């Protein structure tokens, strides 16, 4: 699959794919990596491996919650400052 075809199928720019290919130190957003994984129709194990390789510091420590459900969660755009009640409620539900 060409870079342009992958970008089109993943609904990201060809420049974004090119930047990821050329700069191994780049830290892509998990949502971008998830879109690329979806475009390639990766298996659950391959998807988790790709997400972990793309953002190793964002993955949970061994023995904690893992798997595709965890890996697919987007990172918050802003901290939940001032939302302690909401955060506690969500944590309780999880």
Q: What is the pLDDT of residue 83?
A: 66
- Whole-Å CA distances, 29 to 78, 82, 84, 85, 93: 14, 25, 26, 28, 26
Q: Which residues of the chain have pLDDT under 70?
A: 56-84
Q: What is the pLDDT of residue 79?
A: 59
Q: What is the pLDDT of residue 87?
A: 72
Q: What is the pLDDT of residue 75?
A: 59
Length of the chain: 94
Q: What is the pLDDT of residue 49?
A: 85
27/57 Cα distance (integer angstroms) = 10
Enter the tokens of residue 57. Answer: 């510091």
Enter the tokens of residue 44. Answer: 């659950």
Q: What is the pLDDT of residue 73?
A: 56
- The pLDDT mean for the chain works out to 75
Cβ atoms of 55 and 28 within 8 Å: the answer is yes
């Amino acid at each position: 699959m060409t870079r342009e075809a992958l970008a089109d199928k993943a609904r990201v720019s060809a420049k974004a794919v090119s930047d990821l290919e050329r700069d191994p130190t780049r830290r892509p957003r998990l949502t971008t990596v998830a879109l690329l994984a979806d475009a390639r129709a990766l298996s659950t194990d391959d998807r988790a491996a790709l997400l972990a390789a793309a953002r190793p510091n964002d993955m949970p420590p061994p023995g904690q919650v893992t798997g595709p459900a965890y890996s697919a969660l987007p990172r918050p755009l802003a901290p939940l400052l001032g939302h302690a009640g909401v955060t506690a409620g969500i944590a309780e539900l999880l």
